[in-house]
Amino acid sequence: MKLCGEIEVRDREETLINLDPIQSGGRLTAEAMKAVIAYGDGYSVCDACGKPFRLDTIKKPPLDAFHRDLAAFVHMDVARVMPGARRGFQAVTHTLVSPGQPVILTALSHYTAFLAVESAGGVPREIPMDGNHRITGEEAAKTLEAVTRESGSPPPLLMVDHFDYQYGNEHQVREIAKAAGQYDVPVLYNGAYSVGILPVDGEALGVDFVVGSGHKSMAAPAPSGMLATTSEYAGKIFRTTGIRGDRTNRTFGVKEVEMMGCTLMGATVMGMMASFPHVRERVNRWQEELENARLVARALSSISGTAILSEVPRRHTLTRADTLGSFDVVARTHKKKGFFLTSALKERGIGGLFPGATRVWKYNTYGLTRRQAEHVAASFREIAKENGIAVM
């Protein structure tokens, strides 16, 4: 069915249980869908914009209150909405990092963290992971020490994921922040896979910046996200313009440089705001989400030749599986080759895995009901049995 012209209707979320690793936390609520339609026109939130003409001060719709709610949500002082977590990283690197300076990130950092360092002219220095694919406070301290010794002064920034995108493993943010504190190095907490799906307390973690992704974890349209910080850093990161036109002498009020004035001016911020009451509640149901994740991981582990590469028991719903010794063996002789698995899952109403994936792949159970999780678990076991793989 076509929406119009050559654009097809997208019905993945309606017709399948979607296990796509990056999509589950960004599914819109019904409220967000309404907001997207009502505020779809261009600069729609600017209807009632008045002095001082900045997004976070608009009262109708209540974007000012929404900004305060976002800051409180992650236990920080000031927040801004951003076009994606990546633009949050970039606002921070552009403020704190000068060309040639080292920036500490990790062996599991997302490419957008690297690009944020690159766009500021920084030089990446990775904290290595341990044997369990975890970033520890101890390794962070060693890297801080080495980088500080080499460059003669501490690095301007350390960025760390609470949960990484490859394994969905939990990293020692609090311990890492503690180590960074000893060198007076500010810490950016990357909550792309946490803010909006589990409780996050930036103050308790001792971090200076909390970045979240609206379209990954806050049931919001893309591109959306947030950057929150302490009152100590707010004046730096959210500094206002100081430039003046040389012929016209024009100045630009309180526009914030790193925000390029205003960021999300229509459907994105309104979708994010409309979902927020639901998002704020759903983080309290994280334990149930983990039970579903563990149930599916256990089912996969019960299939001979299959390994869960992420930490077990699961502490996140994003999981990396290795089926080289099970489904991939079947794929070698199956007439559908590697597509047999995605095709067998589709017959059972399950989708979202990388098509043809039978080797090492990721899935995310976030947002499934218990019944759906049980169906997914049973389906993997059934497909294995049907193809002659031993199941325990």
The residue within the footprint of ligand PLP, chosen from 78, 116, 144, 192 (CB under 6 A), is 192
Residue 86 contacts ligand PLP per CB under 6 A: yes
Q: Which is nearer to ligand PLP, 21 or 338 (CB)?
A: 21
Q: Which is nearer to ligand PLP, 84 or 338 (CB)?
A: 84
Residue 84 contacts ligand PLP per CB under 6 A: yes
Cα separation of 90 and 97, whole Å? Answer: 10
Residue 171 contacts ligand PLP per CB under 6 A: no
Determine the interface stretch with ligand PLP among 49-57, 175-183, 210-218, 348-356 (rule: CB under 6 A): 210-218
Count of residues that bind ligand PLP according to CB under 6 A: 15
Determine the interface stretch with ligand PLP among 125-133, 212-220, 346-354, 374-382 (rule: CB under 6 A): 212-220
Q: Which residues of 75-106 are buried (b: 16+ CB within 10 A; e: fewer)?
A: bbbbbbbbbbbbbbbbbbbbbbbeeebbbbbb
Give the sign of the dihedral formed by CA 89, CA 91, CA 96, CA 98.
positive
Q: Which is nearer to ligand PLP, 169 or 229 (CB)?
A: 169
The residue within the footprint of ligand PLP, chosen from 54, 67, 80, 110 (CB under 6 A), is 110
| CB 159, min distance to ligand PLP, A | 9
Count the alpha carbons within 13 Å of 311 in the hemisphere toward its beta carbon.
Answer: 17
Give the sign of the dihedral formed by CA 28, CA 34, CA 39, CA 41.
positive
Determine the interface stretch with ligand PLP among 56-64, 185-193, 238-246, 270-278 (rule: CB under 6 A): 185-193
Residue 225 contacts ligand PLP per CB under 6 A: yes
Which has the closest alpha carbon to 271: 22, 11, 31?
31
Residue 190 contacts ligand PLP per CB under 6 A: yes
- Quote the Cα angle for 111-161-81, to 5°: 80
Residue 165 contacts ligand PLP per CB under 6 A: yes
The residue within the footprint of ligand PLP, chosen from 32, 63, 85, 104 (CB under 6 A), is 85
Q: Which residues of 148-183 are buried (b: 16+ CB within 10 A; e: fewer)?
A: beeeeebbbbbbbbbbbbbbbbbbbbebbbbbbeeb
Q: Which is nearer to ligand PLP, 223 or 261 (CB)?
A: 223
Determine the interface stretch with ligand PLP among 44-52, 78-86, 116-124, 328-336 (rule: CB under 6 A): 78-86
Determine the interface stretch with ligand PLP among 84-92, 144-152, 301-309, 362-370 (rule: CB under 6 A): 84-92
| CB 212, min distance to ligand PLP, A | 8
- The residue whose two tokens read 């760390």 is 160
The residue within the footprint of ligand PLP, chosen from 213, 263, 326, 358 (CB under 6 A), is 213
Q: Which is nearer to ligand PLP, 76 or 188 (CB)?
A: 188
Cα separation of 34 and 201, whole Å? Answer: 30
Q: Which is nearer to ligand PLP, 87 or 383 (CB)?
A: 87
Which has the closest alpha carbon to 272: 21, 73, 93?
73
| CB 75, min distance to ligand PLP, A | 20
Which has the closest alpha carbon to 318: 75, 26, 31?
26
- The residues of the shown chain that bind ligand PLP, judged by CB under 6 A, are 84-86, 110, 112, 161, 164-165, 190, 192-193, 213, 215-216, 225
